Chains A and B, each alone.
Chain A
Amino acid sequence: MSEALSAALPPVKRRNAELVMLLFAIGITLFALIEASLTRNGEMPPNLFLYGGLFGGLALLAHVFIRFFAPYADPLLLPLATLLNGLGIAMLWRLFEATGDTSRGSAMDQLILTAASLVVFAAIVYFLKEPRVLQRYPYITALTAVFLLLLPLIPGLGMTINGARQWINLGITSLQPSEFAKIALVIFLSGYMVTKRDVLSLVSKPLKIGRVKVLDLPRMRDTAPMAVMWGFCIIVLVILMNDLGTSLLLFGTFLAMIYVATQRSSWIILGLTAFFGACVMLYPLVPHFRTRVVTWLDAFNPEVFCTDEVIANNADAFCVQAGQNSQQLVQGLFAMGEGGILGAGLGGGKPGHVPEVQNDFIFSAFGEELGLTGLMVMLLALALLAQRGMRIALASRELFVKMFASGISFLIAFQSFVVIGGVTRVIPMTGATIPFVAKGGSALLSSWIMLALLVRMSNNARKPAPVAIQDEGATQVISR
């Protein structure tokens, strides 16, 4: 524990610093709206005061709320989330409201969802005084996670959008339960691994080649949780639901957390071997997985891109056979290339060239209009958010909270990597959402839930240690 104490932060509140940064984030959002509107339509945004008042007001309310109920929370968290959320709204406004076509989404919807998410944010910060209570029911949480993940498979309720079966239809709105399942999974894994930590980290069976010890492997029976996790990610998510993004995200987070709990690299080696082994196995068997890999590696091949010429003359071409092509990916890259270093300015580009630009490829729209400079800001904001989360994990005293905070932070980082890496052709496109930026209620709400948890844990980690108000030997009265 002495290690944890030394890493603890001094108990300062720094709420005024947060306020200044928050005003900055709100200001950037409003300027982004103004720029988009002036460039695109040559006039001030007609609803500027509505957006300014609603978005700015909500963010400031969140700040005031933190002042009262989590005064020691990390001052960077709320401004970073506000900046990302605000940029997302501004870009959606530019894509939909500014062009007059709101049939595929709108910034106003996103703003209303932001408001709803902030209510949930406040509720969690207010009611969840001690995050460790979440540790109490690990198996119920696990069941909840599995249930949420499987919901879309229920006929009549589940919906397939863009090839992936990860939505449920609630009549008035649709929901992406996997966004919440991943948080539930992190809660479960934190609790589970804190209890099983010793077994998972200490008991081992050396793997020897001849007389040389190569690796300390866990015992067979201790690998059960990993086997379950692996089976779930591969069989259910990849094969049944075509949800490669969630699969990658969950398994990656699982590996990160088991590493934090045990500090054993053999788990990672084992996990990666199993995962990539499965990928190699699935490659010839699962067509939609193969399509993703081919469109990634061979994106600029005319037969994969599907040029008009190929469609007209070559019925055997990959894209004709698979019914999939790399146009979205390549158009996204073209958009980023067009943006260059400084970008075309919000409203100055042609993001409409990228199909479905409002989803994952909103990143390429930012790249086109804000350029490399803007993307760096966005990436650094996401990186900073994840790093502050890790800092909370370091500063916390309870094992569960350490696991939980690092799990959530890694989730934010890895999720960003999976989406943005897919869009920029570092890894195959799998489909996930950029935290806080992406369009859609489920993604936004889950992002703000994660932020609420981080705010709460950071407040608890940084607030002054309880002091005895009277010293009467063994029985002390402690103020919290």
Chain B
Amino acid sequence: MNKPIRRLAVFSLALFGVLLLNTTWIQAFQADWLREHEFNRRDVAERTSLPRGPIVVGNEQIATSTYNEDGEYYQREYPEGELYAHPVGVFNPMGNFGIEQTHNSYLDGSDESLMVRNFLDMLTGTEPQGASVVLTLNPDAQRAALEGLKAYATNGRGAAVALDPKTGAVLAAASIPTYDPNSVADLSDVNTSVENWNKLADDKNQPLLNRAFNELYPPGSTFKIVTAATALENGHTIESTIDAPASIQIGGSQLPNAFSGPCNGGAPDSIAHSIEISCNTSMANWAIELGAEALHEQATAFGFNSGPMDIPVRVTESSAPLEPDDNLRAQMGIGQGQLQATPLQMAMVAAAVANDGTLMQPYLVQEILGPDMSEIESTTPKVLSEAISANTAEQLTQAMILVTEGDEGSGKTAAIPGIQVAGKTGTAEVGDGDTHNWFISFAPADDPQVAVAVVIERGNASGGTLAAPVAKAIMEAVINGE
């Protein structure tokens, strides 16, 4: 009888073999698929079962975790409401967005750099905590940006970015329309949160879109800084002149000045004067004269055509394509045509000019601190490119000062008493008759602390009237705050 018993023993061992193999399959190989399965709601509960580290701006925590006794979860709260909604994002049942997403592993404490600490916490019985993420934002500048946009954006859409030209730190990033993250993060009433979120997602004005980083606009006349920089980098000086009639013939149509009439009484105009009064015809002529390669390369040096950038939130790529056609390149020279730029990109142009031609890599996170406030990671400013020479930068700065201070300056509304402001206005045609109104600037001109780009979507006025006052308020906030 032993033979069948032995066989039965082997068979029962085989049964366990099947179980072992199957368990291994589930837990070792299928585990990731199971964790990410759409029916799997464990992570929602998982995500809210531990305190999240705060996000800090200035000395203030702008995203905090509060324990809810009834529901036994941690509620994410944003004391400043809509102010930081776009750059910071939100942590809610639909997922993580913005900094809440990019720095999730630090905030929830799961990052490898926190592992030793968490292990020690576990041993000592202290509740593990996430790290704090300290942002580069300047609260005054951010507030000035949002309030300025709200005051001047006639149809409620626009964006503003401020950079520290010396480091690349993002000082302000505002976009309207905006939303209150608390309204979509309330875990005590998840259904309402989801409903509110869906409403925002379906809104045609796209309140969830961070226009400062992720919307592309034709940059209009603000791009003339890039055209002028190309000329200066190619052997010309700020006093070099080129034909500047009332209108030039390109292809089958006319490219006129925004104001009727020639730029210098019919005579060839200098680059400096063309920037001051925002002359179209001279700049279009420069674009034709300089050639496709030079313009494309200079734009690329300023950060165009370089792919999406993570600062760490994703910034959409701005593009200035190689334009061999003279007529289309004339359009590009004045910021129209195939050009597309994010507000951040135009702020980078201003920042590069401000920083003696050196373009710094923009960044939003200053440092990451452990629960005990020890530094885990800190951002060191990094050079992105040497966009232009210091000499070119100096000449452009002088021309841009004329924009706010010159007799015929197009952006006098950005002038700050006692401080020299270098700026450039822009009015970009959308194609259906509407215009976006731009202003890029930096101040103080001799020792720049802040570089700004403001766009008012379909403001249908000039950059000087709508965008420059907003830029002025942001610059004042930064300079007065220091």
Of chain A, the residue at the smallest CB distance from B27 is A372
B201: Cβ under 8 A from any A Cβ: no
Residues of chain B lying within 8 A (CB to CB) of residue A425: 22
B8: Cβ under 8 A from any A Cβ: yes
Of chain B, the residue at the smallest CB distance from A306 is B39
A271: Cβ under 8 A from any B Cβ: no
Partner among B16, B22, B27, B122 whose Cβ is within 8 Å of the Cβ of A339: B27
Residues of chain A lying within 8 A (CB to CB) of residue B42: 334-335, 338, 350, 353
* Closest chain A CB from B4 CB (angstroms): 5
* Closest chain A CB from B41 CB (angstroms): 8
> Contact at A417–B19, with CB atoms within 8 Å?
yes
* Closest chain B CB from A414 CB (angstroms): 7
Q: How many residues of A contact B (CB 8 A)?
A: 59
Of chain B, the residue at the smallest CB distance from A252 is B15
A429: Cβ under 8 A from any B Cβ: no
Partner among B2, B23, B34, B46 whose Cβ is within 8 Å of the Cβ of A376: B23
Residues of chain B lying within 8 A (CB to CB) of residue A416: 15-16, 19
Of chain B, the residue at the smallest CB distance from A332 is B26
B116: Cβ under 8 A from any A Cβ: no
Q: How many residues of B contact A (CB 8 A)?
A: 40
Residues of chain B lying within 8 A (CB to CB) of residue A350: 42, 45-46, 49
Of chain B, the residue at the smallest CB distance from A256 is B8
A426: Cβ under 8 A from any B Cβ: yes
B12-30 contacts to A, CB under 8 A, are 12-13, 15-16, 18-20, 22-24, 26-28, 30
Of chain B, the residue at the smallest CB distance from A340 is B31
Instruction: Digitize A351-378: 1 where CB-to-B-CB distance is under 8 Å, 0 elsewhere.
Output: 0010000000000000100011001100
Partner among A399, A409, A426 whose Cβ is within 8 Å of the Cβ of B18: A426
Instruction: Digitize B113-124: 1 where CB-to-A-CB distance is under 8 Å, 0 elsewhere.
Output: 000000000100
- Which listed segment binds B: A25-33, A381-389, A447-455, A467-475? A381-389
Partner among A7, A307, A386, A393 whose Cβ is within 8 Å of the Cβ of B39: A307
> Contact at B15–A337, with CB atoms within 8 Å?
no
B9: Cβ under 8 A from any A Cβ: yes
Given contacts A387-B13, A390-B8, A410-B8, contact A367 B39 (CB under 8 A): no
Residues of chain B lying within 8 A (CB to CB) of residue A305: 39
Residues of chain B lying within 8 A (CB to CB) of residue A386: 9, 12-13, 16
* Closest chain B CB from A41 CB (angstroms): 10
* Closest chain B CB from A211 CB (angstroms): 30
In whole angstroms, what is the CA distance A402 to B9 when docked? 13
> Contact at B125–A42, with CB atoms within 8 Å?
yes
> Contact at B12–A414, with CB atoms within 8 Å?
yes
Given contacts A350-B42, A367-B27, contact A413 B1 (CB under 8 A): no
> Contact at A334–B37, with CB atoms within 8 Å?
yes
Chain A residues near B (Cβ < 8 Å): 3-4, 7, 38-39, 42-43, 256, 259-263, 300, 302, 305, 307, 330, 333-341, 350, 353, 367, 371-372, 375-376, 379-380, 382-383, 386-387, 390-391, 393-394, 399, 402-403, 406, 409-410, 413-414, 416-417, 420-421, 424-426
Closest 3 CB pairs of A and B: A337-B34, A413-B12, A390-B9
A to B CB contacts below 8 Å, 24 in the list: A4-B1, A259-B7, A261-B4, A300-B39, A307-B39, A334-B40, A336-B31, A337-B34, A337-B35, A340-B28, A350-B49, A353-B42, A376-B20, A387-B13, A399-B1, A402-B5, A409-B12, A413-B12, A413-B15, A417-B18, A417-B19, A426-B18, A426-B19, A426-B22
